[in-house]
Structure 1
Amino acid sequence: MIEVLEKLTAKQIFQQELSKRGKLIKKYLINHYFKKLLGPKDILDGSLSYPSSMGKALRPGILLFSCGAVGGDEKIAIPAAAGVEISHTWTLVHDDIIDNDDIRRGKPSVHHQFYKLAKTRGYSDKEASEYGRNIAILVGDVQHSWTVSLFMDMYKKYKLDPALVLEIINELEVGVIPKLIEGETFDIQYEREKINKLKKEQIIDMSAKKTGQLYSSSAKIGAMIGLKNTDFKHPIILALSNFCFNCGVAFQLQDDILGLISKESKFGKPIGSDIREGKRTTIFWFAYQNANRQEKQQLIKLIGDKKAKENEIKKAINLLIRLKGIEETQRLALQYIHKAKNYLKVVPDSFYKELLVSWANFMVERKI
C-alpha cells in the first residue's frame, strides 16, 4: 500500500482519499433509517436527490481528516460527517430557490425537478412553479431534521459522551446557521446595492459567513470528536477551525471564478447565473475599481440584467476578465490559503496533515 501511495502525487492521493470518504458518506445516508420517515414520495425523492448525486464531499472530508489529524477514530465521526453533508444539502436546496438556479450537480435543482413533474401532472405553469418551490422548501426543512438525527447516531451507535454530542449539535445550530443565514441575507440585499457603495471587506465577510463558517465548524467538530474534547479553545481545535475558515473563504472566491469560466457540464450549475442575478462578488468589485467611466457603465448595465442573452453574458465575462476582476480574485484566494496553512504549524505531522495541506491547495487549484 505504501509503495502504491509513493507512486502517486499528493493531489492524486488526496483525491483518492476524499473519494473514498465520499462513498462512505453516500452509503451511510442512502441506508439511513431516517429515509423511512420521509413521505410522501415527492418528499422522499426530493430529499434524496442531492445526496444520491453527491458532490466532492469536501465538508465531510475535512471533518474526517481533522478527526484523524488529532489521532481520532474516523469511524465514530462518520455520522457527524454525514450530518454536515445533509446540513449543507438543505441550504443548497433553499439557495437554489433564492438564486433561481434550475441546475445543481448537473441535474435539475429540487424546485425545478418538481416543477417539471407537476407539469406532467397537468398543472399550469404558475401552479407547477409554486408546487416545485413548495416541495423544495419542505425538503430543505425535513433535511434539517435529518441532520440532527445523524449527529445523534454518535451516541446511539458509538456511545459518544452525550455532552459532546450536544455541543456538536449546538455548534452547527448556533455557531453556523445564524451566520450562514446572515451571509445569505447580505447576498440578497447587496444585489440591490450599487457596487461603488460596497467595500471589498463587506463582500468577503458575506462569503465567509455563507461558506467559510461551515467549513470551519466541520473541522472543529471533527477535532472535537477525535480528541473527545468540548473545549473550543483547545489549541489544535482552534487551529484546525481557523485553517478551514480561511480555506472556506478561498473556496467561495474560486467558486465565483468557476461560475464564470468553467463549463456547465463540469461545474454542475448554470454558467453566468451570478451575472444575471447581479451578485456582488469580488470579481465585480475589482473589475469596477479598474474600469474607466465607460466600462463602469457597461458593467452596471450588464450585471443584474435577468433577461441577459448568452452573447451579453459572454460580453460581461470578457469585460470582467479584461479588467482583471478574475485575476485579482484569484490572487486574493491564494492569500487566504497562505494564511490558512500557517495555522497548521501546531498540528502534529502525519498523513492526515498532508491531506489537509492538499485539501487547501485543492480549494484554489480546482477547475470544476
Structure 2
Amino acid sequence: MNKFFLTSKIKNDIEEVEAFLINYLDFPHQNLKESSLHTLKAGGKRIRPAFVLLAGSLFKYEDKEKLISLAAAVELIHMASLIHDDIIDNSVTRRGRPTVRALWGNDFSLYAGGYLFAKAIQLINPKENPRIAEILANTSVEMAKGELAQIQSFFDIDQTVRDYFYRIKRKTALLIAASCEIGALACNASKNEIKAIKKYGYNLGMAFQIQDDILDIESTSMELGKPAGNDLAQGIITLPTIYALQKKNTDSLELKKSIVNRFTSGSYDINKALEIISNSTAMDDARRISFKYMQKAKDQLEYLPKGMIRKNMDQLANYIVERNY
C-alpha cells in the first residue's frame, strides 16, 4: 500500500503489526513456519490491518497491544484465503513469487491455510472478545460462500453484474468492512460511528476489488506480479468482462466463443480476449462503478470524528481507485 499520506503513527503501527506477525508465525512445524513467512514476506498492501489501525486511531485507542493483535488477525485470515485461492486457481505465482502450492503442493497448502485461519481465531481470544470473534467468524463463513460461488461460475458467460457483486462482497468487501468495524468496536465507538465506518469499509472494499479486476485486464505481468489476464484464463468472469459480453457486436460474440471453448488456442485466445475487453467501453463502465462505491465510502466520513485520521481515510479512498498495482 502507498503509505505516503498516512500519519507517522499509523505507519509505525503497521510496522509493529509486521513485526508481530513475523514473531507469531514462528511455528514449531518447520514447513508451516516457512510457508507462512513466505506468504507474509511476499508483500501485499496490508490494507486490512491498516483499516483496523485507522479505525482504532480515529477513536483514540487505549489498548495498543489489543489493536495490533486484531490487525494481525485480519491479515492472517486474508493470508489463509490467498493460499486457498491459489489452490483453486492453480496459481504458480503471486506478487512475483512462487505460491505456497507451487513450493509445497496442494495438500500441504490446504492444511496450511486452515492452520492460519485457526491461529487467527486464537489470536482474537474469543472468550475475552466474543463480539469481535463473532464478526470475524461470520465474515470467514461468507468468504467461503463467495469462493464457492466463484468456483461454480467458472467460464459462465451468462452470469450477471448482480452475481459478480455477490461474489466480491463476500470474497473482499466484508473482510475490509469487518476490519473497520472491529477497530472501532475495540475502542468503544458509538453504534452510529461503528455503523458509518463499517459502511465506509464495505463500499471501499467493493471499489478495491473492482479496481483489482480492472488491473487484471489492463496491467502487465510485471506490474501485477502474476500473469496478466490470469483471472480470465482461469475462467473467472469479472465486471469488465461481464460488461464486454453484454455488448451487441461481433467482438462480444468472439469473446463469448473463446470463453465457452476455454481458450483452446492458449495465450493467443487469452490475449485476444483481453484486447477485446480493453478496447470496448467495458473498462470505463467498470471504472464508473468503482468510483461510485468509492464515493459512497467517502460519504460516510462526515459521520466520523474530524481530524488527520479522517483525512487519511479520505486519501486512502482515492488511492484505492487510482492505484495501478
Residue correspondence of structure 1 range 217-256 to structure 2 within 5 A: 217-227=178-188, 234-256=191-213
Mapped pair 1:303 → 2:259 = yes
User: What CA distance in whole angstroms lies between the structure 1 residues aligned with 2:9 and 2:240?
Assistant: 32
Superposed CA offset, 1:70-107 (max 9, x none): 22244430000001000100010000111111111211
1:271 is aligned, of 228, 252, 270, to: 228
Could you tell me how far 1:12 is from its partner in structure 2?
2.6
Could you tell me how far 1:181 is from its partner in structure 2?
1.0
Residue correspondence of structure 1 range 200-349 to structure 2 within 5 A: 200-227=161-188, 234-292=191-249, 294-303=250-259, 305=262, 308-349=265-306
Could you tell me how far 1:11 is from its partner in structure 2?
7.3
More helix, by proportion: 1
Could you tell me how far 1:192 is from its partner in structure 2?
4.7
1:63 is aligned, of 28, 49, 52, to: 52
Give the RMSD, CA atoms, in angstroms: 2.1
Residue 26 of structure 2 corresponds to 35
User: Which structure would you say has the larger Rg?
Assistant: 1
Identity %: 27
With structure 2 as the length reference, what TM-score do the two structures score? 0.92
Residue 169 of structure 1 corresponds to 133
Could you tell me how far 1:297 is from its partner in structure 2?
2.3
Superposed CA offset, 1:260-289 (max 9, x none): 222222322221111211212111111112
Tell me if the contact between 1:18 and 1:58 (Cα under 8 Å) persists in the aligned partners: no
Name the aligned partner's letter for residue 130 of structure 2: L
2:151 is aligned, of 185, 188, 213, to: 188
With structure 1 as the length reference, what TM-score do the two structures score? 0.82
User: What CA distance in whole angstroms lies between the structure 1 residues aligned with 2:245 and 2:78?
Assistant: 32
Mapped pair 1:49 → 2:13 = no
Tell me if the contact between 1:291 and 1:323 (Cα under 8 Å) persists in the aligned partners: no
Mapped pair 1:142 → 2:103 = no
Return 5+ residue gaps in structure 1 as ranges.
1-9, 115-131, 156-161
Superposed CA offset, 1:196-226 (max 9, x none): xx32122112111110000000000000112
User: What CA distance in whole angstroms lies between the structure 2 residues aligned with 1:27 and 1:344?
Assistant: 30
Tell me if the contact between 2:157 and 2:259 (Cα under 8 Å) persists in the aligned partners: no
Could you tell me how far 1:31 is from its partner in structure 2?
1.3
Return 5+ residue gaps in structure 2 as ranges.
none
Greater CA drift, 296-305 or 143-152: 296-305
Name the aligned partner's letter for residue 285 of structure 1: I
* Runs of 4+ more than 6 Å apart: 15-18
